[in-house]
Amino acid sequence: MQNDRKLNVAVLGSGAWGSALACVLHKNGHKVTLWSAFEDEANALAATRKSPLLNGAPLPADMNITADKQAAADAELAILAVPSFAVEQTAAAFDATLPENCVICNVAKGLCTDSGLPFSELIRARLTGRDVVTLSGPSLADEVARNIPTAVVAASKSADAARLVQDAFSGDVLRVYVSDDEIGVQLGGAVKNVIALCAGISDGLGMGDNTKAALITRGMTEITRLGIAMGAQAETFSGLSCLGDLTVTCMSPISRNHRAGILIGKGVSAEEAMKQVGTVEGYHAARTVRMLAKKHGVEMPITEECCKVCFEGSSPKDAIIRLMSRPKKQESPLSR
């Protein structure tokens, strides 16, 4: 069911995810502007009406596609759909353009590299006075662009802002749930990329489904452990933003984290894998997550091994051996 209220929406970022979400919003009847940081890219998209990052998926003929920031001046809802490294810069660039009552919805999955802060806090600092929502969950852009049913979660300190995002996106493509656990939803979306990179490395090494299942399950334990230490709600991590997103990112052949991991497992250096695949959020998040784990006194052995492989020259095979030879543990309390 689509909501009757139609919004002026600015989608800031014309990559695969931004373009897919712009199409969903347009299909739901909203007036959508798709903004690119690059004038040549905006002109090409406007001329061809096809997204090369989505296998040529069509872009609506009446959707405004531009590199002009002023096109977002009347936006009631702005979608921050840029890679994690560009979130702060893009938010700051639009502070003077977006209306004061505009709701900001961030869809990038990551953490501030230096501080480990969730993006919601960074965006509030750069887009002062606006309500901020995080949209996350198991949502491969290619599938959303092909109108494949997908479920995600909108998290915010503001219930009204979360519901506005829920209403804007809900339709026959996206089912949107709401949450007030901003920290948990953002941690799930960020740290699952690290585990997905490791799942890809496992596949590149030729390991089996048993190994991947272990990485997914124990990876979720690591994410939950860190989340609780940072004040998140434990139940969030069995939901869409962690378990759901973790599963699809670890298993899908079109996940960039997974694809980069496969290359590393096959012996390609981490730096070269990044060049071949492009933006790999798990690679950028790994050291930040390790920093947070140390800060909060949380044990995250899979994340630690990921950092050793990606940044310290450790062999992926040696990482598997170290994980398998760790001291024996108890998964849950034993009955007496």
Residues 143 and 265 in one domain: no
What total of structural domains would you count in the chain? 2
Query: Residue 138: inside a domain, yes or no?
Result: yes
pLDDT number for residue 3:
56
Do 248 and 116 lie in one domain? The reply is no
| Residue 64 shares a structural domain with residue 32 | yes
Expressed as residue numbers, the domain containing 216 is: 190-324
Residue 336 lies in a domain: no
Residues 6+ away with beta carbon under 8 Å from 205: 265, 266, 316, 317, 320
**At which residue do the structure tokens 């690059």 appear?**
38
pLDDT digits 0-9 by tens, 133-164: 999 999 999 999 999 999 999 999 999 999 99
Domain boundary among 158, 180, 202: 180
CA 30 to chain centre: 23
Q: Are residues 67 and 212 in the same domain?
A: no
Q: Are 234 and 240 in contact (CB under 8 A)?
A: no
pLDDT tens for residues 92-106? 999 999 999 999 999
Note whether residue 83 is domain-resident: yes
Residues 83 and 124 in one domain: yes
Chain centre to alpha carbon of residue 106: 9
Check whether residue 234 and residue 285 sit in a common domain: yes
Q: What confidence tier does 5 reach under pLDDT thresholds 50, 70, 90?
A: confident
In a domain, 330, yes or no: no
Residue 8 structure tokens: 């002026």
Looking at 152, 180, 208, which one is the last position of a domain?
Answer: 180
Question: Which residue among 127, 156, 180 closes a domain?
Answer: 180
What is the per-residue pLDDT across 173-217, written as a single tens digit (0 to 9) for each?
Answer: 999 999 999 999 999 999 999 999 999 999 999 999 999 999 999
Q: Are residues 175 and 35 in the same domain?
A: yes
Catalytic site positions: 192
Same domain assignment for residues 127 and 245: no
Q: What share of the chain is helix, strand, coil (3-state, %, to 5)?
A: 55, 15, 35
Within this chain, do residues 213 and 173 fall inside the same structural domain, yes or no?
Answer: no
| Phi and psi angles of residue 133, each rounded to the nearest 5 degrees, phi first | -125, 145
Q: Based on the domain organization, do 164 and 206 belong to the same domain?
A: no
Q: Is 136 helix (H, G, I), strand (E, B) or coil?
A: strand
Question: What percent of the chain lies above the pLDDT cut of 90?
Answer: 93
Whether residue 336 has pLDDT greater than 70 = no
Q: Based on the fold, state whether residues 307 and 289 are members of the same structural domain.
A: yes
Express each pLDDT in 263-305 by its tens digit. Answer: 999 999 999 999 999 889 999 999 999 999 999 999 999 999 9
Q: What is the CATH number of the domain that holds 106?
A: 3.40.50.720
